[in-house]
Amino acid sequence: MSSDASPLTFTGFGGLKLAAEGFGNPEQPVVLLLHGGAMNRRVWRDAAVALAAAGRYAITIDLRGHGQSEWAKDGRYDLDAYAADLRAVLDQLQTRPVVVGASIGGYVAMAAMADGGSALASGLVLVDAGLTMEPGESQRVSEILRRHAKGFDNIEDACAGSAELSPQHRASSPESLRRHMRQDAAGRFYWPWDPQFLSGVDNAALNALQGKVSDLKIPTMIMRGEDSKVTTEADIANLRALMPSAEFIQVEAASHHVASERSDVFNATLLEFLERRLPRAPITYEAGSDARTLRDAMGCFGTGVVVATTRGAEGSPDGLTANSFTSVSLDPPLLLVCIAKSARSLAAFESSGSFAVNVLHIGQQLDSARFARRAEDRFSAAEWETWETGAPILKASLASIECDKHAWHDGGDHIILVGKVRRAAFEPRRDPLLYFRGAYRRLHLT
């Protein structure tokens, strides 16, 4: 198996260039690896080679101000800036990778995925990253980094400084260290980190994530080094309480740098997690297998969301949320929507000679939820009007289309309701509410 890596460049927040490398076949499912503070992407090399050998495409990336990535000219090394970098990278990948983040890399992953951002990734692995940094160890590392911020006179001093930092920073030889250090015109050696990054991420920023990480609806694994001085058992217990569906593994004989201290255990655990929770092979439905898998397959087709409305036999407004809507014909103007035979509102659509389809915009997610929930007074909270047929038209929808009933076909456990359009009005400026893989989405226009 080749361990060759291809250089990659991403554009982060504010146009900052981020250096990265790809290992393996880019057609395979992507795993994006984020290192910790005062590290660089090279710490993932073993893991990246193992991932590529297991049929994944591993991308290792230097965080801003680290390794070969650009330094932030404005000195921004706060969690929001790192998270905006990650979101920009995920946008550029055009696939939803599994994100593996160690230490600060883990904090960055959580920050980028909080507040609904988890739709950008398919899985998350947090390596010795809780929501609190124990001050002792981070202060020790900061103190060493600050002490040497003005660089080293010679490579031997740099070797000694690196060894003091952590066993992971100890260079195998002065020559190998020389390759990774910056050297200025006067011959001084500098670690490849912008010293300003040290003041970037603090416990206040991490604590602010407390209420935001609980709803990550993607397979997640939390790892801790048993002897870690940065992430305590109590930190991890707190994180696990916030993310009850996350898997947890504590790695023995490892401290903060789990992936390099116990690369054998780390690689095996990561690969096993990926194969089990995020298998590479496509998931298959065969006629007769479970409906859930078929639903998931159908959920690969991204749609908009509509509320179909009509009047019941007594004239009361009725309707439901649907995404099985499609335009059918321009001449004559026809559309269809499929309504479950089990839907309570089906009787109203059956008895009425007309109905309307209201296409929802991004601000109408609550309307969508209300028209999908049972036992809700769906219309009292909605602003609506009527046009010619009396079918309720939800005001301020992205589009509303009023129809005469044209056909009523059997469609298995649904009815295919075909309408002939009488009138349609739409709002040209707003974005649609989208639905994909069982979750609401918004347009990402690049």
Instruction: Please report, as ranges, the residues that interact with ligand FMN according to CB under 6 A.
Output: 305, 320-324, 338-340, 343-345, 368, 372, 374, 435
- Work out whether the CA dihedral 280, 285, 290, 294 comes out positive or negative: positive
Instruction: Return the number of the residue (138 or 323) whose C-beta is nearest ligand FMN.
Output: 323
Under 8 Å between Cβ of 291 and 341: no
Query: How far apart are the C-alpha atoms of 154 and 156, rounded to whole Å?
Result: 6
Instruction: Return the number of the residue (203 or 301) whose C-beta is nearest ligand FMN.
Output: 301
Instruction: Return the number of the residue (268 or 298) whose C-beta is nearest ligand FMN.
Output: 298
Give phi and psi for 329, each to the nearest 5.
-150, 145
Under 8 Å between Cβ of 41 and 67: yes
Closest to 2 in 3D by CA, of 58, 43, 67, 41:
58
Query: How far apart are the C-alpha atoms of 412 and 71, rounded to whole Å?
Result: 59
Instruction: Return the number of the residue (7 or 438) whose C-beta is nearest ligand FMN.
Output: 438
Closest distance of CB 66 from ligand FMN, Å: 41
Closest distance of CB 297 from ligand FMN, Å: 16
Instruction: Return the number of the residue (150 or 374) whose C-beta is nearest ligand FMN.
Output: 374
Alpha helices in 183-262 (DSSP H): 203-207, 233-242, 258-261
Indicate the Cα dihedral angle 234, 237, 238, 242, nearest 10°: 170
- Number of CB atoms found within 10 A of residue 57's CB: 21
Instruction: Return the number of the residue (258 or 433) whose C-beta is nearest ligand FMN.
Output: 433
- Number of CB atoms found within 10 A of residue 331's CB: 5
The DSSP-derived string for 78-89 is SHHHHHHHHHHH
Instruction: Return the number of the residue (23 or 435) whose C-beta is nearest ligand FMN.
Output: 435
Which three-class secondary structure string do you get for 282-324? CCCCCCCCCHHHHHHHHCCCCEECEEEEEECCCCCEEEEEECC
Closest distance of CB 434 from ligand FMN, Å: 10
Closest distance of CB 378 from ligand FMN, Å: 8
Which secondary structure element, helix H or strand E, spans residue 30, and what is its range?
A: strand 30-34
Closest distance of CB 177 from ligand FMN, Å: 56
Closest to 98 in 3D by CA, of 23, 28, 32:
32
- Work out whether the CA dihedral 403, 406, 409, 411 comes out positive or negative: negative
Instruction: Return the number of the residue (138 or 321) whose C-beta is nearest ligand FMN.
Output: 321
Closest distance of CB 164 from ligand FMN, Å: 56
Tokens for 143?
């103190």
Instruction: Return the number of the residue (107 or 435) whose C-beta is nearest ligand FMN.
Output: 435
Tokens for 71?
């330094």
- Number of CB atoms found within 10 A of residue 187's CB: 10
Instruction: Return the number of the residue (41 or 370) whose C-beta is nearest ligand FMN.
Output: 370
